[in-house]
Homo-oligomer: A and B are copies of this chain.
Amino acid sequence: MAFSRSDSRAVDELRPIRFTRGWQEFAEGSVLVEFGNTRVLCAASFTPGVPRWKTGSGSGWVTAEYAMLPRATTTRNQRESIRGKIGGRTHEISRLIGRSLRAVVNLEALGENSITLDCDVLQADGGTRTAAITGAYVALADAISWGKENGHIRSDVRVLLDSVSAVSVGIIDGTPCLDLPYVEDVRADTDMNVVVTGNGNFVEVQGTAEGATFDRKELNTLLDLAVKGTSELAKLQAQALQED
């Protein structure tokens, strides 16, 4: 019997993707990104100046913080502010988003300015970290434009070297699939998040066996799917940024 996905998509098909720029009106860049039912609000805050350890370096900094509303999920999660500490998963994803964005930023061209990306998951249906990276890139682009328009960045430099997006892939009942929603994610034997630049190079490859290990051939198929998915996401990002 043929394998069929929970939402009838083809195995190499993305969920419906939507970017809403300017969702929060006070941020220098703000995007509500949707991968199907997954909704992440990405806010880019531009601050002249850099953390102490970069002062005087002439170059800037980009960092990210990921979090989830208590009721983004099917059952309520306790707030990390109430628990008094950030969990390991949150730390890990925040660091991943920051690294992914810095891979396409020319920090020297940014000058001594800092951009913080807040990625808050309003609704979680799988792939929140990849949606966060993909949306944060758009918010980042808007914040850099703001920095140029407001004279914080020289208008003649190229701060963004490329675009960056991310997608999850996984093996479900032996079938490699692209962009897993929550119901597929929990069934997947292998789960991989791949971050790819607009020109198709890798920034991060994070594959994890969850139950069954994976062989070299499966790894290759997963990478093929991820490259296809991120190349489509790159086009959608470009399209969103052209709107005004």
**Contact-size category for A:** 35 or more
Inter-chain CA distance A215–B99, complex, in Å, is 17
Expressed in whole angstroms, the Cα–Cα distance for A82 and B87 within the complex equals 10
Number of copies: 6
> A49: CB under 8 A from chain B?
no
The answer to whether A116 touches B208, judged by C-beta atoms less than 8 angstroms apart, is: no
Q: Is the CB of A123 within 8 A of B25?
A: yes
A74 to chain B, nearest CB (A): 5
A72 — which chain B residues lie within 8 A by C-beta? 24, 26
Residues of chain A from 87 to 118 with CB closer than 8 A to chain B in the complex: 87-92, 94-95, 99, 103, 116, 118
Is A197 engaged at the interface, CB distance under 8 Å to the other chain? yes
Contact B92 A209 (CB under 8 A): no
Residue A5 at the chain B interface, CB threshold 8 Å:
no
- A219 contact set on B, CB distance < 8 A: 202, 205, 223
Query: Please, which residue of chain B has its CB at the minimum distance from the CB of A213?
Result: B201
Residue A67 is within 8 A (CB to CB) of chain B in the complex: yes
Q: Knowing A207-B204, A207-B205, A208-B204, say if A27 contacts B88 (CB, 8 Å).
A: no
Q: Give Cα A30–Cα B122 distance, bound, in whole angstroms.
A: 12
CB atoms of A69 and B206 under 8 A apart: no
Contact indicator A204/B197 (Cβ below 8 Å): no
Q: How far is the CA of A111 from the CA of B38 in the complex (A)?
A: 34
Bound Cα distance from A166 to B194, whole angstroms:
20
**Chain B residues, Cβ within 8 Å of A215:** 200-202
Which of A7-15, A40-48, A144-152 participates in binding chain B? Answer: A40-48
Apart from A26-B74, A43-B70, A69-B120: 13 A-B pairs, beta carbons within 8 A: A24-B123, A26-B71, A26-B72, A67-B81, A69-B118, A81-B85, A197-B213, A202-B209, A203-B213, A204-B206, A204-B209, A205-B207, A219-B223
